[in-house]
Chains A and B, each alone.
Chain A
Amino acid sequence: MTVSPTSSGPLTLLRHRLFWPVVILVALLLLNVVFTDHFFSIEVKEGHLYGSLIDIVRFGAPLILVALGMTLVIATSGIDLSVGSVVAISGALACLQISDLGDQDSVGGVLGAAGVALLLSLVLGAWNGVLVAAVGIQPIIATLILMVAGRGLAQLITGGQIITVNSSPYKLIGGGYWLTLPFGIIIVLVVLALTAFLTRRLALGLLIRSVGGNAEASRLAGIGARGVVITVYTFCALCAGIAGLMISSNVSSADGNNAGLWIELDAILAVVIGGTPLSGGRFSLGGTVLGALIIQTLTTTIYSIGVPPETTLLFKALVVTVVCLLQSPAFRAKVVRRRRPAGVSPVAEEKVRVHA
């Protein structure tokens, strides 16, 4: 039911869904150039790519992963608050197992540990999905359960301590390089390709949008909405689990309390900035990646332009507010309309007003 003034030509670019997120990302990057010399330069050292841009993607990788899973959940008009806890649990379980290994550098042992951690993530995701789809609890409440309980579970796994590991294969996941690229970026690319395959080449995307757009109509059209929803929550937890491995690998330790803290909020933010409405029914994977990159760039920017630490959060909130407003078609329409009525017929409007 949205009707916007029509136009064509060069404005089509302006109307593209991802136009504003791209503009914001570019603006943030340009801002960095002012404060940091050689911000855009990328160089190869010892066969590895280095540079600020690479760092943004590398440090943003866990957020991109979590946000990708979150995108699909939100597209079914759900939400998953438990991803932060899953991040912590997955990292904790992997590190616990690795620390128990006789030889922490054994590739098989690390693979096994990562596999078990991801398996547990899948189970946790399926648990969320079952609560939402089969039991019928509202998503925000259903996942709140695991958000709270999951932190406890993570602490139980670590025994309340920070587990540190010293394993070079494990270190590779979050901090290593492969084919000159940071390994984290490769993981993101693989997961992104997998998600795009599932949703675009296969019909999962259509069914997700249908369930998110009108659940009852979807049921009557014969869609196994329950299965779709469980799949989506499971996928989301899997993404969070991988992100958890990355985060703990990057610092070679697992902290049940702080790993992935508040990442669910950043992920939801990334999804929204990327143009996926919280009401569901539509989603944009590219938008989500952009959104996550914007958030990561913002974090980088805050450090590089030297925002005083005590105002960091406020600054971030301000920027995010502006980004969300710019990105909202309703808000833009309002601004445009307010500027325009002078041209329409002020006299006529005046008369009507007087009359009323």
Chain B
Amino acid sequence: MAPPGPILRMRGIGKRFPGVKALDGVDFRLLPGEVHALMGENGAGKSTLIKVLTGVYDIDDGEMELEGRPAAFSSPLAAQQAGISTVYQEVNLCPNLSVAENIFIGREPRRLGHIRWKRMRHRAGELLHRLDLDLDVSAALSTYSLAVQQMVAIARAVDVEAKVLVLDEPTSSLDAGEVAQLFRVMRRLKEQGIAILFVSHFLDQVYEIADRMTILRNGRLVGEYLTSELSQVELVGKMIGRELADLERLEGRPLARETGPLVEARDLGRAGAIEPFTLTIHEGEVVGLAGLLGSGRTELARLLFGADHAGTGSLRIAGEAANLRTPRAAIHRNLAFCSENRREEGLVPDLTVRENIVLALQAARGWTRPLPRRRQDELVAKYISALNIRPADPEQLVQNLSGGNQQKVLLARWLILEPRLLILDEPTRGIDVGAKAEIQRLVAELSDGGMAVLFISAELEEVLRLSHKVGVLRDRRLVAEVDNDEGLTSEVLTETIASGAAS
């Protein structure tokens, strides 16, 4: 078969940042009417390549052609005008505006200078209808779920005469049904001849939707492959440059020793967030929480950590009654909570990697007892190397790091406190296979060392691999608590989530 000529071709692309070579001689092409996955670990250069393509960064080396003509975009707007539309990982819309306003912001249909609201709403409805969405377009965007917001972002992106649609991790916060809906939309766009560049860390999704993939590693091109000709194992091998054995080695780990209960929650609950639940976590035990998005996993964790006030019930930590009114109180009792929302609840973007890492420890000491600089440097250096944080520069602003490395910085912040219970909310979301394996191995090691871990993840496989015990949530209720033994498989777990009762 003779494929049609590429709509987009990039040759020898290079991009340098102070001290980092983010891209080095990368070739890339996109054919019309295909879904092309861009694969690679965190820091492999995926985001940089996308930002170069969409005009956020300028190119240091190499050239770019759009429809056979040389192109260089000085701004995202220029790229968009040339037909390259992007939907980023974190939805870049205004939640306070209505759906229709969001779709037409900056290009409202006008007559004599004033906005034709009726026409705008009508067109927005039409547009969404084509994507199988039936929304009240005059409602504020914030009233809809993240998934729907994502679809609105896509609707907006394709309405501006897109030839190339870039989807940067669109599925990282969607549940299975929503992903299916997104894929339906993607297939429809593909039929219309739009080239879709798709970035996702979920391999199954890539294999479901992508026709072709380009793999990057450490800023260099590994190769371009047809999805049908590359097995998952080969793909992962090419991404991380080593074999996948790491991921498997964790299987079959022994159950925790019988130890005293560390955290005992009795009928702990908060109206509107989570129904009263009872949960015991032992020292050295990994308790997994499984459930759909919005089933109350995060809410449960936040109550344990005192991030929200519990309305009912009681909590005992290490045998003592605890009334946690603030995270500060929880930290004093050796609890740590790594939020799923890195950007809003985790990182302080203007601080350096070092400052972000020592933040919780310094907060625990209070501002009158500064942590000596030498001690800071020691601790930070230790965790940068232990967690393999890249670039290994403690004075780099944390906002310049890739997602997976930011996650590791957050982990380091809590690990230096040496907590007795570490709550990890989706620690592996949006990060690549290599870093995922590293974090999973870390969790196993920590629990072997006696630390209790509450592990929340949307990926059942991961929960099963790591946990000694799994709590299942459904509709903001803890519906089951199952020991992770031979009999527990992801099918059983799925069944439990679906039916709401332990088998």
Contacts and interface: CB of A to CB of B under 8 A. Distances in A.
Interface stretch (A91-99, A178-186, A202-210, A325-333): A202-210
Contact of B362 (A203, A219, A352): A203
Interface in B258-307: 305, 307
Interface stretch (A22-30, A124-132, A152-160, A340-348): A340-348
Nearest to B369: A203
B346 interface: yes
Contact of B74 (A204, A344, A355): A344
A151 interface: no
A6 B16 contact: yes
A233 B263 CA distance: 38
Contacts of A345: 70, 72
A203 B71 contact: no
B395 interface: no
B350 A355 contact: no
Given A352-B78, A352-B82, A356-B83, A217 B367 contact: no
Contacts of B346: 217, 220
B73 interface: yes
10 contacts: A1-B399, A6-B16, A206-B359, A209-B350, A210-B351, A220-B345, A221-B360, A222-B363, A344-B74, A355-B67
Given A351-B71, A356-B83, A220 B17 contact: no
B502 interface: no
Given A210-B351, A351-B69, A202 B370 contact: yes
B345 A344 contact: no
Contact of B348 (A217, A337, A352): A217
Nearest to A223: B363
Interface in B127-151: none
Given A220-B339, A222-B331, A351-B70, A356 B359 contact: no
A224 interface: yes
B115 interface: no
Given A207-B363, A356-B83, A3 B348 contact: no
B198 interface: no
Given A210-B348, A221-B360, A222-B327, 16 more contacts: A6-B18, A203-B365, A203-B370, A217-B347, A220-B305, A220-B337, A220-B339, A220-B346, A222-B328, A222-B330, A222-B332, A348-B72, A351-B69, A351-B71, A352-B69, A353-B81
A341 B330 CA distance: 54
B51 to A, nearest CB: 9
Nearest to A2: B399
B350 A206 contact: no
A258 interface: no
Contacts of A3: 17, 56-57
A43 interface: no
A344 B58 contact: yes
Interface in B309-339: 326-328, 330-332, 337, 339
Contacts of A337: 74
Nearest to A208: B367
A3 B51 CA distance: 11
A223 B307 contact: no
Nearest to A355: B82
B394 interface: no
B349 A6 contact: no
B161 to A, nearest CB: 9
Interface in B62-76: 66-67, 69-74
B345 A217 contact: yes
Quick one: which of A6, A219, A348, A349 has the most chain B CB within 10 A? Answer: A348
B203 interface: no
A210 B359 contact: yes
A352 B78 CA distance: 8
Contact of B71 (A204, A214, A281, A348): A348
B70 A214 contact: no
B363 A214 contact: no
B328 A224 contact: yes
A141 to B, nearest CB: 20
A344 B74 CA distance: 9
A204 B363 CA distance: 10
Interface residues of A, number: 37
Contacts of A206: 351, 355, 358-359, 362, 367
Contacts, number: 125
A218 interface: yes
A228 interface: yes
B344 interface: yes
Given A221-B413, A349-B72, A209 B362 contact: no
Contacts of A341: 74
A261 to B, nearest CB: 34
A214 B343 CA distance: 9
A201 B372 CA distance: 9
Contact of B359 (A202, A204, A223, A344): A223
A171 interface: no
Contacts of A207: 362-363, 367
Listed from nearest, the 8 A-B pairs whose CB atoms lie closest are: A356-B81, A222-B331, A213-B348, A281-B350, A203-B370, A223-B363, A222-B363, A204-B367
A344 B57 CA distance: 13
A58 interface: no
B385 interface: no
Contacts of A218: 348, 359, 363
A131 to B, nearest CB: 20
A238 to B, nearest CB: 17
Most chain B CB within a 10 A radius of its CB, from A213, A224, A344, A349: A213
A213 B349 contact: yes
B8 to A, nearest CB: 12
A227 to B, nearest CB: 9
Contacts of B366: 203
B393 to A, nearest CB: 15
B333 to A, nearest CB: 11
A216 interface: yes
Given A220-B345, A352-B81, A352-B82, A213 B351 contact: yes
Contacts of B327: 219-222
A174 B356 CA distance: 42
Contacts of B349: 213-214, 281
A216 B358 CA distance: 17
Contacts of B231: none
Nearest to A226: B326
A347 B18 CA distance: 29
Interface string B148-186: 000000000000000000000000000000000000000
A337 B361 CA distance: 43
Interface centre among A6, A202, A203, A347 (most CB of B within 10 A): A203
Contacts of A281: 348-350
B350 A203 contact: no
Nearest to A8: B18
B18 A214 contact: no
Interface in A298-356: 337, 341, 344-345, 347-349, 351-353, 355-356
Contacts of A221: 327, 359-360, 363, 413
Interface string A225-236: 000100000000
A227 B215 CA distance: 49
